[in-house]
Amino acid sequence: MHRRTALSVSAALLLAAPLLAACSGEARPGTAAVVGGERITTSALQAQVNDVRAAQNRTGQAAAELIASTPNLERERLDSILQNRIIDKMAATAGITVSTKEVEDERKAYVEDNKGAEQFEALLLQKGHMAPGQADRFIRDRVLLTKLAAKYGNGNLEEPARAAAKALRIEVNPRYGAWNAQQIKLGTGETPWITQRTRPEQAPAGA
């Protein structure tokens, strides 16, 4: 039986956050980051931010509170994009793939366990700061992370994540913060990276 909640948004993202392999003091105009030689453009990043803001604004009276709770949304979305790339690299190295059916089945389980798509998307927005259109990527990552945990063992994903991030030679535009190799996470400037996303209060069984 599935026991998934949207609170496990944070668990999925926490398992494999990005590592800085190299940080350039200069960034090309229009570039938020470079990963594996590929540019993540500021326009692509802003499009994700706009999607989240639009979703927040559709919540009516809760909009102001949601917006106020995400003052660093650009950095958070860039962090998530980089985590996506790390997870992809880890999976490719491990020879792990995900089918469309697996993503669909996982989405169905999340929707059922959260009593409907609307409730699931609302919690994803509140806890994961993701727009509904970003849910498929979260779900795909969740399936990949489950498979990676099965291969390497629960709690043993840090080293594969470090190796993947090092291979990708990530560079980030200082406008969005800096990387910390120890925390494997995007942070702010010179501030030590000592915080992580909150884990779910109750881990879902079978995850």
Q: What is the pLDDT of residue 41?
A: 97
Q: What is the pLDDT of residue 49?
A: 98
CB 190 within 8 A of CB 179: no
Surface-to-core class of residue 94, CB atoms within 10 Å of its CB (0-12 exposed, 13-18 middle, 19+ buried): middle
| Helix 135-152 and helix 117-128, axial crossing angle in degrees, nearest 10 | 80
Measure the CA–CA gap between 144 and 107, rounded to whole angstroms: 13
Q: What is the pLDDT of residue 154?
A: 86
Angle 45-116-5 from CA coordinates, rounded to 5°:
70
Average pLDDT by stretches of 10, the chain with 207 residues: 47 38 49 93 97 97 96 94 94 97 96 95 95 96 95 91 90 85 66 27 32
Q: What is the pLDDT of residue 201?
A: 31
Q: What is the pLDDT of residue 104?
A: 97
Question: 116-173: per-residue pLDDT in tens?
Answer: 999 999 999 999 999 999 999 999 999 999 999 999 998 899 999 999 999 998 899 9
Q: Which CATH architecture has domain 6-187?
A: Orthogonal Bundle (1.10)
Please give the model's pTM, rounded to 2 decimal places: 0.78
Q: What is the pLDDT of residue 184?
A: 72
Provide the CB-side half-sphere exposure for 195 (13 A, CA). 6
CB 22 within 8 A of CB 168: no
